[in-house]
Structure 1
């Protein structure tokens, strides 16, 4: 599963300023500082149904920074005072009127305006104006409040015309999402072994099939997708990322670690954002647009350095775009593993992972689950998945719930929307099917956020799923994207979310039933701790169910069941 393309969408944020909370001065943002701001945007994908992107003004043009071909130089963009003040007012008023909490989390919003308006009036560049806005939003102390630079929001691959799509049905195109539109993908392109080669949209978000997670405190390869460029370059699970194009990973991590060490409240929003930033640093560094190439240095199992060249290409499933947000690559991976059981039939477990909750992934997800209906259990891997369209959580839950049970409620300022599962009665092929009642495991890590947390937390509180891995990001506020007079986009929370048991996920995250932190030593020998724990649980549940069924069929006579739980499969490479 490829997640670094999500981070890549916000690479232009590196050109925006950052101010430390309550900082009296504005300074340019370096790459390390950008990591603090990055996750706030990445995990804030628009996930609330009914929250269509809106514009704060009409007939406005974007003022964007010009960048050199190597994407490293910065050209400061003038910010006319009237535009800066107009944008400041738009952000301040939007938050005041649309924040789900009328008290604005206890913040004196009028005082914030009085304090920061003079800075907006004196801003000489777009970067400085953004810094003031980010300072203002940081006072709320909540996730899903951010300014996305206009050049990042406008960044989009070349769109093919309808005629081109008819003439070349296997080509990929960018799908423009809307709350009422479902995007479908040609079945042949999902299953084609050479889909990567036939994919188009050059210049759009690229993938390489290497997922980097924080393992033992260091960015390490967690998964490698077969047949993509990372696998072809020889990258292996468990390798530690040392540098990308000469940029040392240690240099990127140091400022974050120093700021984390200075934090006095480790449960604050700022502290959580720092930890998530640390977790996504590897994927951010190893990212690129389609057609770009990165030279990466890894440390292998023997401690030797391995230098590889990795090319980025469009995702085999294409990419998708939602309103004012940048385009996202779609990645859906699935497999069925079979574990032999002494004295009995094998235990078959379906494993499904996807990188973002966007409807462009729906068809591939539906097809994968339909192939797993005969399995003894299913694992849904949401590690590294930052969220997306919230309504998809209800659809996915419907595969595993026979009745429209509630995953939780979206609490707006004046309304409440319940997230009820949509039981699936018909397969993707149009055949009537039954609800999947076999054991369901969900894998999470610190990069799992928003809709991933809604689904996992909701299913966990319903007692329908068992969660394995690490505590999630704790960034679970439904958000809306609003265009600003400057051409930038304001991402702002419009609701809170609580599970059916009243569990508030914002600031808490989904706490796993079985905590399993990844280990580099295990990864290097082909073990995935969280997946192994999930498969062991499914195997134990399956053998118990088989024994009970056999006993019942034998008129309650005691029947000896296989006692040896199968060894979890070798999961490398994935």
Structure 2
């Protein structure tokens, strides 16, 4: 009898335990779901499997204890969570910025015309480059300038999305930026504008020099580049200066396509994912020209610009003149979140054809020349490029000679 009761107690205990285990987990609130959604995307896609040395499971636990009760609290928790990665390019894009991203890559921009990242040491926005022709460029803002305040409000610790949104606004309105360059600090008033950006301009200059300035990599950039090269070839160009100064990048695919217009064959770039697996992107067609080429670069040359410059340098297709480039060697994918925001996540890093990892290092030009970014008669970088071309032009053979 005692044994029979023991069996019933055991059965009853197992029934209680199984019933308990079968209970569904408590439903997450909307703010909690947003935090978990961002955590999951980063967990499966982020380029660094060590998450910058953080236990990502514990980061999730900390983010949900105590659980955020409002969407504003959730956004603050997400920002804190992403800050553990020490990666300014992995960030939430508010709905307006997410929409602007689509139009910017198509060649349009609204606002002051700056690309910024977080200066992780100073915790303020750092200018990658002003867009050529933008209000910021006209106001004299330069690559590597720090933005200390926007309309009098300190940017110390301010998120990049918040800083970007403060600089956006209706065309015709003004914003005051407090800038720092070296030891100098000063305010500058910029009038916001809607700017339609031609990504490429070109002309044939004295001595048969074909000058091409590429300001960003947008959807139509490769087609514009092809037209420029073909037109210059028809005009008897003897060599090229490709100006990538203050080009902050843009579409990865556009960078690949333009590299293929200058290279006959070979690897353009390697991408390396979180598992260390390499993917190579190659040029396999026929270059549009084989004439001498100099590429101008500076501290504002970033991302897709560095892919192009690195490929041309490694294949010895071009000589690079100017200053060390910005050093953005990470590739982002943008995910749409359930609340309509976007999430940019660094999913891979890229290496040049000779396997140079340029992230936070940049590309060192073949000829270092310090200068500003305008190509004028007083531009030492441009003058150095023309001097190099003059020594490397293919001699013209007279007819019948």
Instruction: Choose from 271, 275, 280 the match for 1:410.
Output: 271
**What is the rounded CA distance, in whole Å, between the counterparts of 2:41 and 2:292 in structure 1?**
44
Quote the Cα distance in structure 1 between the aligned partners of 2:62 and 2:391: 60
Assess if the C-alpha contact under 8 Å between 1:84 and 1:486 holds in 2.
no
Tell me the equivalent position of 2:93.
Answer: 148
Cα distance change on mapping 1:441 and 1:252 into 2, 3 Å: farther
Q: 2:311 maps to what in 1? A: 458
1:532 aligns with 2:383: yes
CA, structure 1 residues 140+222, in 2 after alignment: closer, same or farther (shift >3 Å)? closer
Alpha-carbon distance change, 382 to 257 in structure 1, aligned in 2, over 3 angstroms: farther
Q: Is the 8 A contact 1:440 1:466 kept in 2?
A: yes
- Residues 1:207 and 1:444: Cα distance change in structure 2 (over 3 Å): farther
Distance 2:56 2:176 in 1: 46
Residue of structure 2 aligned with 1:135, choices 62, 66, 80: 80
1:222 to partner: Cα distance? 8.9
| Structure (1 or 2) with the larger CA radius of gyration | 2
Structure 1 residue 205 and structure 2 residue 109: aligned?
A: yes
- 1:118 maps onto 2:58 in alignment: no
1:295 deviates by 8.5
1:76-475 to structure 2, matched below 5 A, reads 82-118=29-65, 121-122=67-68, 124-126=70-72, 128-155=73-100, 205-206=109-110, 240=140, 251=149, 291-292=171-172, 294=174, 312-315=193-196, 329-338=197-206, 347-373=207-233, 374-402=236-264, 404-413=265-274, 415-424=277-286, 435-475=288-328
Given the superposition, is the C-alpha separation of residues 436 and 98 from structure 1 closer, same or farther in structure 2, using an over 3 Å criterion? Answer: same
What runs of 5+ residues in structure 1 fail to find an aligned partner?
1-80, 158-173, 178-182, 184-203, 213-217, 243-248, 260-273, 298-306, 316-328, 339-346, 425-433, 555-574
Q: Is the 8 A contact 2:112 2:190 kept in 1?
A: no
Counting matched residue pairs gives 346
2:344 pairs with 491, 502, 517, which one?
Answer: 491
Q: CA RMSD in A?
A: 4.6
Q: Is the 8 A contact 1:211 1:224 kept in 2?
A: no
| 1:514 Cα deviation after fit | 2.1
**Structure 1 SS opposite 2:230:** helix
Does the 8 A contact of 2:167 with 2:175 survive in 1? Answer: no
Q: Separation in 1 of the partners of 2:389 and 2:316? A: 15
Q: Deviations over 1:338-366 (max 9, x none)?
A: 1xxxxxxxx22122223322223333222
Q: State the Cα deviation string for residues 355-378 of structure 1 (Å, max 9, x = none).
A: 322223333222112122232221
Secondary structure, aligned partner of 2:305: helix
Aligned twin of 1:302: none
Higher strand share: 2
* Deviation for aligned residue 1:141: 2.8
* Cα 1:539–1:104 shift into 2, 3 Å: same
- The 1:295–1:483 alpha-carbon spacing in structure 2 relative to 1, beyond 3 Å, is closer
Preserved CA contact (<8 Å) 2:168 2:192: no
Provide TM-score, normalisation by structure 1. 0.50
**Which TM-score applies when normalising by structure 2?**
0.70
Q: Equivalents in 2 of 1:382, 1:253: separation in Å?
A: 31
- Unmatched segments (≥5 aa) in structure 2: 1-27, 117-125, 178-187
Give, in whole Å, the separation in 2 of the partners of 1:94 and 1:444: 35
Question: Contact (CA 8 Å) 1:394, 1:407: kept in 2 or not?
Answer: yes
For 1:336 and 1:524, the matched residues in 2 are separated by 13
Residue-by-residue CA offset, 1:299-347 (whole Å, 9 max, x unaligned):
xxxxxxxx999673452xxxxxxxxxxxxx4532222211xxxxxxxx2
- 1:5 aligns with none
3-state secondary structure, aligned to 1:130: helix
Q: Please report how far the alpha carbon of residue 101 of structure 1 lies from its aligned counterpart in structure 2 after TM superposition.
A: 3.8
Residue 454 (structure 1) shift: 1.1
